[in-house]
């Protein structure tokens, strides 16, 4: 028996672009289209080709892309009030986009018709019907987005249903019920969707296509995903949203969660076979293109989705992951992780130690010593769950597998107000010693930490040229005790990469520069240790 199928329409390039802090270039949009096609969503809503010059250029370049799994759709509205479809520039641009399928929206809420459009209810029905007919006559497959449908149903259900029939009479084969304000509850979504599905269960368009029902929800009540799932339970066969849930106000339905839920919990097919395992990687690619930080707590694809911290949980998961994981992380392309913290047990400590000293056993006193030291440092404000590099260096120091690569004699930083034509206003000077040899260097930068980084890098490159490849990719500061005001202790977390590997290090102090220095030194030493070990393995 074949699986039930739900078509997915991704609106990241339209609704997602309305999200706060989101701005896509034409190249960004093309890359997102390629990512979504690789994932295998049914439709990619590319935006309104007549809304601005950027979208006009984008639609022109889209014509050169060869997609494997997805269909590009253009988006627009009904014809304007008082003019014919053939004279409407918006509809002309939809046709010029040359997509096989067009999504257009119209008003289903009588309040919106009379108070926003200032049109009569009958004229609005004509606009919906005539627009669908115009697009169908031009050879397009037409989807009708019924804007504010659930508000319309509460206000005037008879008229709301008339708008859907007008769209079908014009040739629309798919009717999408939109919870535009995102304020509907699950039971209301379910009840209303059932009524609409029943109404059109035996209806066909003028071309003979059976009418399908879709759902488009927003997250203003935190129910966008739940309302979408409920609608599919009640007969909807098409779901719209954005891959990562971003959009205007509180966002759209999160398709990554919906797809995971439907495929893994409801045994429904949303993507081509075996494409679900691409979900995490594609989502992370879209966050990079969008220049937003990924939400670690996002279901299925977040970095924390399968992260375990409590000692008892970790112990149970190592014995059988089913104990605390609702699905296998690999089916969505994610991975399990165990977080090092004060609540972690000795089993996790031992597991991490064995990565670089397989001779240590569970009963060895060194395991208890490391566990105790981790708890002490985390009490002081350290956090090792996001700083695996610093944790490894800590363990190496305790078990005797660490040697310092340099000795600091001093560092100092200072700044000055820049002139109008300059932006570098911080300076650092330091002196280090490597096996009796000294280096005194200076650096300037956009702030004291950047200047200190540049000075240390310049000093170390003389002895260790490999540090030239190290780049700091992120720098975070957390105030740990706000009650102490400017004397508060801070935690600094630094993310680094050498182009092949990435790692994180941490420093804690009541002095911001010292905390930054501790994290910075750990970052470079971690890189140098890894390089030494890599060279050693070559000669083994």
Domain ranges of the chain: 4-272, 406-463
Beta strand pairing call for 407-415 and 426-434? antiparallel
pLDDT for 24: 85
| Nearest CA-CA partner of 159 in 235, 107, 195 | 107
- Tell me what pLDDT residue 483 has: 52
SS3 540: coil
Among 440, 439, 416, 438, smallest CA distance to 427 is for 416
Q: What is the per-residue pLDDT across 182-200, written as a single tens digit (0 to 9) for each?
A: 999 999 999 999 999 999 9
Sheet of strand 490-497: strand arrangement: 471-479, 490-497, 502-509
With contact defined as beta carbons under 8 Å apart, do 193 and 234 qualify? Answer: yes
If one compares 538 and 133, the residue with the highest pLDDT of the two is 133
What end-to-end distance do the CA atoms of the chain give, in Å? 55
CATH number of 406-463: 3.30.160.740
Burial of 1 from C-beta contacts in 10 A (0-12 / 13-18 / 19+): exposed
| Of the ranges 62-71, 225-234, 333-342, 456-465, the best mean pLDDT one | 225-234
Looking at CATH, the fold of the domain delimited by 4-272 is given as TIM Barrel (3.20.20)
268 close to 4: Cβ distance less than 8 angstroms: yes
| Of the candidates 55, 64, 44, the residue with the CA atom closest to the CA atom of residue 94 | 55
Q: Which two tokens stand for residue 363?
A: 């009963």
In this structure, the number of other CB atoms found within 10 A of the CB of residue 84 comes to 11
Please give the pLDDT value at position 343. Answer: 46
188 or 53: which leads in pLDDT:
188
* Cα separations in angstroms, 128 against 80, 100, 134, 169, 170: 10, 19, 10, 9, 8
Instruction: Spell out a b/e string for 473-493, using b for 16 or more CB atoms within 10 Å of the CB, else e.
Output: eebeeeebeeeeeeeebbbbb
- What would the mean pLDDT of 315-322 be, rounded to a whole number? 70
Mean pLDDT of the chain: 87
Using only C-alpha atoms, the chain has a radius of gyration, in whole angstroms, of 29
Interval 81-113: pLDDT, tens:
999 999 999 999 999 999 999 999 999 999 999
d(CA 252, CA 245): 5
Q: At what angle do helices 26-39 and 279-290 cross, to 10 degrees?
A: 170
């Amino acid at each position: 028996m074949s699986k039930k199928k739900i078509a997915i329409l991704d609106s990241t390039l339209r609704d997602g672009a309305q999200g706060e802090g989101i701005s896509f270039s034409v190249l960004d949009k093309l890359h997102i289209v390629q990512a979504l096609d690789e994932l295998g969503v049914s439709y990619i809503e590319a935006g309104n080709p007549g809304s601005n010059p950027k979208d006009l250029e984008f639609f022109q370049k889209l014509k050169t892309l060869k997609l494997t799994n997805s269909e590009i759709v253009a988006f627009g509205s009904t014809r304007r009030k008082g003019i014919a479809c053939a004279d409407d520039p918006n509809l002309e641009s939809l046709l010029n986009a040359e997509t096989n399928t067009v999504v257009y929206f119209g008003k289903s809420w009588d309040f919106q018709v009379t108070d926003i459009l200032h049109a009569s209810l009958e004229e609005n029905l004509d606009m919906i019907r005539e627009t669908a007919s115009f697009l169908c006559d031009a050879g397009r497959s037409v989807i009708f987005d019924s804007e504010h449908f659930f508000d319309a149903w509460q206000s005037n259900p008879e008229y709301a249903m008339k708008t859907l029939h007008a769209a079908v009479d014009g040739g629309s084969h798919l009717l999408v019920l939109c919870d535009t304000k995102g304020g509907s509850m699950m039971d209301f979504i379910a009840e209303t969707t059932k009524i609409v599905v029943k109404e059109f269960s035996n209806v066909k368009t003028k071309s003979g296509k059976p009418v399908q029902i879709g759902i488009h929800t927003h997250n203003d009540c935190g129910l966008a995903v739940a309302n979408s799932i409920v609608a599919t339970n009640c007969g909807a066969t098409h779901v719209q949203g954005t891959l990562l849930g971003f959009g205007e106000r509180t966002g759209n339905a999160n398709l990554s969660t919906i797809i995971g839920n439907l495929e893994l919990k409801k045994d429904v097919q949303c993507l081509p076979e075996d494409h679900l395992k691409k979900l995490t990687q594609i989502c992370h690619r879209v966050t990079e293109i969008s220049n937003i930080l990924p939400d670690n707590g996002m279901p299925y694809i977040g970095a924390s989705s399968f992260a375990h911290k409590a000692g008892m949980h970790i112990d149970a998961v190592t014995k059988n992951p089913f104990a605390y994981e609702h699905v296998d992380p690999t089916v969505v392309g994610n991975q399990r992780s165990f977080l090092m913290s004060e609540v972690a047990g000795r089993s996790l400590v031992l597991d991490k130690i064995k990565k670089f000293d397989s001779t240590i056993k569970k009963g060895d006193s060194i395991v208890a010593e490391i566990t105790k030291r981790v708890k002490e440092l985390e009490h002081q404000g350290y956090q090792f769950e996001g700083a695996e590099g610093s944790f490894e260096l800590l363990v190496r120091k305790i078990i005797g597998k660490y040697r310092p690569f340099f000795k600091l004699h001093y560092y100092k930083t200072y700044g000055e107000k820049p002139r109008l034509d300059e932006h570098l206003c911080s300076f650092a000077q330091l002196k280090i010693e490597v096996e009796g040899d000294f280096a005194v260097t200076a650096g300037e930068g956009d702030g004291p930490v950047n200047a200190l980084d540049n000075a240390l890098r310049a000093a170390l490159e003389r002895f260790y040229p490999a540090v030239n490849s190290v780049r700091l990719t992120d720098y975070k500061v957390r105030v740990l005790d706000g009650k102490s005001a400017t004397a508060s202790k801070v935690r600094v977390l630094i993310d680094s990469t050498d182009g092949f590997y990435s790692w994180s290090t941490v420093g804690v102090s009541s002095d911001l520069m010292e905390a930054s220095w501790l994290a910075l030194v750990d970052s470079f030493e971690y890189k140098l240790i890894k390089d030494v070990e890599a060279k050693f393995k070559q000669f083994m």
